[in-house]
Every structure is written in C-alpha cells, then in structure tokens.
Amino acid sequence: MQIIPAIDLIEGKCVRLTEGDYAQKKIYNEDPLEVAKNFEGIGLMRLHLVDLDGAKAGNVVNWKVLEKIANKTSLKIDFGGGIKTEATLKTVLDTGATYATIGSLAVKSRETFEEWIERFGADLFMLGADVFEEKIAVGGWLEKTNIDLYDFMQSYINKGLTQMFCTDIQKDGKLEGPSIVLYKKIIAKFPNLQLIASGGVSKLEDLVALRTIGCSAAIVGKAIYENRITLEELSKF
C-alpha cells in the first residue's frame, strides 16, 4: 500500500481544514515546497496537492505552488481544486501534475468529464468521491447531493477510471480513524479498483488496518502535521 501525503493550500500556505470547513483552518507551514521536500526525503513518491482556494473559487488559484514542487522534486503529483475547463486541465498537466484530480466536475458536468476521459485517457485522472452517509458531496463539501456513492463509482469505472479516492467528510480532519466499514464495502463491490483511502488516519495502526482490508494507497494529512505519525514511522512503513 502506497502512502500519499497531502498538502492542502490556502493563499499558498500549507493548511488543514476540519470537516471541510474553511472557518476551521489551521496553517502548518508557510512553505509547501519545504514540506514536499521532507516527504521526498523519506522516500515517498507521490503527493496529493489540493488547491482549496481553487475548489472554492471554481478556478485554479495556487498554480505557482504546483509549479515549484513539480520543478524542484521528483514527486508524482495529483493536483485538484478548481479544474473546470479544458484550458485549466491542460495547464495543470503542463505545469507538472501527473494526475488531475476531478471531484465536483464529475458530478455536475458529467458530459465534459467523460469527453476529457475519452480525449486525454483515463490514466491521467484521479476521481475524488467525497461522501456523506454514502451520498456524494461537492464543492469543497459545501454542498450535499442525493447521488448514491456506488452508482457514481460504477459509472466511472465503466468509463475506464482505475484509481479513485474516497473521503468520508464526517471523518476528515478529525483524527478519529478512517472509514474502514465504508472502504470494505467499496472493495467488495469493486475488487479491481485501486481504492485510495482518504480522511481520518490518526495513527500507524490505521494504515495497517487499511492495508489489511486491501486499499491500494492511503492519503495522510493532518496526522503528519499534528505529529501523530512521524516521518520516520512513515518511511519504515
């Protein structure tokens, strides 16, 4: 199981939210590049980079941070937040992202996203399914929907997507443990999917549990910044 550390960006700084609430923001580092280099330094190979300003604005804002990290590390970056147009998508990929993370667009503009998958290839995309009580949520979690999580995932598996991350909003940023029951259900339904766990990881035992049930990767954020899991422990894991 791969470990994918997360950097969430607001105004170019490394922050974390609790339950996706912009009012519950904590700044951890003014320099995301320094954070990314620390991750690279312990042997991690991927990075989950989220433009929270972009998610809120509906247009990518923190370009420069992506560009810096892509140019000055060898991390494979999946970048999300505000990718709504083809021009934006191309710029994100040209700026150095390995994968474009798509969330709200996959819900609200299905035709557009399906067209991108056909034109650019499913391998360039990572689908983010934000979930609240097994229903999809969008717009940086500011908006709940009645779309069934499993129907949503199946529809994009049918289109060729192979990796998705699922974030249980009720768990994210709370350090109360990941949604093991939810992930078990997803893995049972879609055994060939590369499921990436996201949200709630608070200690090394959580990562062991996620590996045991068959998650292909786990996104870890707040637990690192709050020193619940040290970089040394991650490098050994």
Query: Could you give the CA distance from residue 101 to residue 88 in angstroms, rounded to a whole number?
Result: 12
Per-residue confidence (pLDDT) for residue 57, from 0 to 100: 86
> How many Cα atoms sit within 13 Å of 183 on the Cβ side?
29
Is residue 8 among the annotated active site residues? yes
Distances (CA, A) of 79 to 49, 60, 154, 176, 230: 5, 10, 23, 26, 24
Q: What's the average model confidence in pLDDT over 42-68?
A: 93
Per-residue confidence (pLDDT) for residue 144, from 0 to 100: 83
Per-residue confidence (pLDDT) for residue 173, from 0 to 100: 60
pTM: 0.92
Per-residue confidence (pLDDT) for residue 55, from 0 to 100: 84
Which residue did the predictor score with more confidence, 16 or 136? 136
Domain that holds residue 230: 2-236
Q: What's the average model confidence in pLDDT over 33-59?
A: 94
Per-residue confidence (pLDDT) for residue 139, from 0 to 100: 59
Checking if the pLDDT of 140 tops 80, the result is no
Q: What's the average model confidence in pLDDT over 132-159?
A: 87
Per-residue confidence (pLDDT) for residue 37, from 0 to 100: 97
Checking if the pLDDT of 168 tops 90, the result is no
| Mean residue pLDDT across the chain | 92
Checking if the pLDDT of 172 tops 70, the result is no
Checking if the pLDDT of 209 tops 60, the result is yes
What CATH number did the domain enclosing 229 receive? 3.20.20.70
Is residue 130 among the annotated active site residues? yes
The packing angle between helices 86-95 and 63-72, to 10°, is: 30
Q: What's the average model confidence in pLDDT over 57-77?
A: 95
Q: What's the average model confidence in pLDDT over 210-223?
A: 95
Which member of 51, 53, 78, 130 is catalytic? 130
Burial environment of residue 94 by CB neighbours within 10 A (0 to 12, 13 to 18, 19 or more): exposed
Checking if the pLDDT of 64 tops 60, the result is yes
Which member of 8, 51, 168, 206 is catalytic? 8
Checking if the pLDDT of 19 tops 80, the result is no
Per-residue confidence (pLDDT) for residue 58, from 0 to 100: 83
* Structural domains in the chain (count): 1
The answer to whether 47 and 75 have CB atoms below 8 angstroms apart is yes
Checking if the pLDDT of 23 tops 90, the result is no
Per-residue confidence (pLDDT) for residue 108, from 0 to 100: 92
At position 201, the amino acid (one-letter code) is V
Checking if the pLDDT of 18 tops 80, the result is no
Query: Could you give the CA distance from residue 113 to residue 214 in angstroms, rounded to a whole number?
Result: 28
